[in-house]
Amino acid sequence: MTILVTGAAGFIGSNFVLDWVDQSTEDVISIDLLTYAGNLENLSSLNNNPHHHFIKGNIGDRDLILNLLKKYQIRAVLNFAAESHVDRSIHESKDFMETNIVGTFNLLESARSYWNDLDQNLKQDFRFLHISSDEVYGSLDLTDPPSNESDPYKPNSPYSASKAASDHLVRAWFQTYKLPVFTVNSANNYGPYQFPEKLIPLCILNALNGKPLPIYGDGQQIRDWLYVKDHCSAIREVLKQGHIGETYNVGGSNEKTNLEVVKTVCVILDKLKPKSDGKSYFDQITFVKDRPGHDRRYAIDASKLERDLGWRPQETFETGLRKTVLWYLENDAWMNHVVSGQYQDWVQKQYS
Ligand code: NAD
Ligand code: DAU
């Protein structure tokens, strides 16, 4: 059997594919449009692996997707492909609507068309797993309980609104057509191969280059942090034994303010890569203009996943963050390749 992974050259998609090839006997077809966020270097260790094939393409290309589904007799589609960066969605949201909403719609239609024509056994085994975000639940107050799967959707950014729309499409394709779907809503991921536009890799990169560590507003916004490999294991568990049509929240129970996160990165760097002048990386922390509509707090109640499927995260924030910082220190060539012209344009636009 073979699975199709979309957005496979991105941060979470590539971590998922690498883990899958390590742990499963099923082959993987990876597809990715290779936008600025897609990086084939993430998958380079699979270059000569006969159990993995990469295809450059758009999830919105129905003919391409349908042909791939048929050619490789795909038994599960995992949809990681998306425009994923909130700040970019604030500057310009067109691509977010096109990929996250229209792209997901087209992918669902390709999957439905393929699934409809499968014979009974293959039809029964087919799954469509959609990767989404805790941001769809909107911002929580400090005293609110963490978001659970039955909470209402209240997205606040163009990014989260587009993800919320895609979740609704997935739900509707189950309710209306009985397409066997799951949706996984995850907290903030961190770990290897994350593009340095996101808080943690951006701060590691800037710290090492002696640049400011930009904290939006007062830095008291809270996120729930999940090590990417724990997200991948949750997705594998849902695919294996999830209940069709259900939504599962995934979180690390690691609520931290942004300031705490950046300070912890500094503490780890001070130990692993002390500055030659004897000073701390703390000195580089700089408060900058806030993100418009900045959500104050996200927190995820992952008890359904733990109770129903027995999943637990393996990493604490401290162990996961240490591994992450070490990975970036040991993979400076990866970072140097990523920090290309397009990346510099973004930094200029956002932080100047
Ligand atoms: P990412 O931006 O690193 O990767 C997204 C990938 O999708 C890129 O490789 C990009 O080239 C590809 N892509 C974009 N448009 C495409 C299209 N039309 N067709 C095919 N490929 C396309 O994002 P990520 O952080 O790896 O996130 C993966 C998924 O997980 C997204 O759906 C995101 O919304 C969701 N998510 C991310 C986080 C997080 O903290 N990073 C948390 C929760 C949910
Ligand atoms: O919660 C899940 C979401 O997490 C995913 O759905 C998104 O795809 C993913 O990008 C992430 O969104 P955030 O906006 O939370 O991630 P980001 O790393 O951009 O920012 C994390 C927090 O840090 C947020 O409160 C904004 C703040 N921040 C971010 C940057 C880039 C700063 O203070 N300074 C910065 O320079």
Whole-number Å distance, alpha carbon 57 to ligand 1 midpoint, is 14
Mutate which of 84, 89, 170, 188 for ligand 1? The one with the most ligand atoms within 8 Å of its CB, which is 84
Of 194, 268, 203, 266, give the one whose Cα is nearest residue 226: 194
Identify the bridge partners of residue 56 per DSSP, sorted by sequence position: 32
Q: Which of 32, 83, 134, 167 is catalytic?
A: 134
Ordered strands of the 247-250 beta sheet: 52-56, 27-32, 2-6, 74-79, 127-133, 181-186, 247-250
Q: Say which of 32, 109, 135, 197 is annotated catalytic.
A: 135
Rounded-to-integer distance, Cα 3 and Cα 51, Å: 11
Report residue 347's pLDDT band, with 50, 70 and 90 as the boundaries. Answer: confident
Domain 2-194+226-252+295-315 has CATH 3.40.50.720: yes
Residue with tokens 């290779």: 34
**Residue 12: half-sphere exposure toward Cβ, Cα within 13 Å:** 29
Q: Is the pTM of this model over 0.95?
A: yes
Does the C-beta of 5 come closer than 6 Å to ligand 1? Answer: no
122-171 confidence digits (pLDDT tens): 999 999 999 999 999 999 999 999 999 999 999 999 999 999 999 999 99
Look up 134 and say whether it is catalytic.
Answer: yes
Q: What angle do CA 163, 164, 166 make, to 5 degrees?
A: 65
The predicted pLDDT at position 351 comes to 84
Residue 239 in this model has a pLDDT that exceeds 80: yes
Q: pLDDT of 167-226, one tens digit each?
A: 999 999 999 999 999 999 999 999 999 999 999 999 999 999 999 999 999 999 999 999
Residue spans per domain, the chain: 2-194+226-252+295-315
Quote the ligand 1 centre to 317 CA distance (angstroms): 22
Pocket test for ligand 1, best of 4, 11, 261 (most atoms within 8 A of CB): 11
Q: What is the dihedral of CA 304, 8, 162, 261, to 10 degrees?
A: 70
> How far, in Å, is the centroid of ligand 1 from the Cα of 311?
23
**CA–CA distance, 48 with 33 (Å, rounded to integer):** 21
Question: Does 325 sit in the ligand 1 pocket, CB within 6 Å?
Answer: no
Instruction: Locate 98 and state its tokens.
Output: 């096109």
Query: How many angstroms does the Cα of residue 80 sit away from the middle of ligand 1?
Result: 5
Specify whether the CB–CB gap between 80 and 5 falls below 8 A: yes
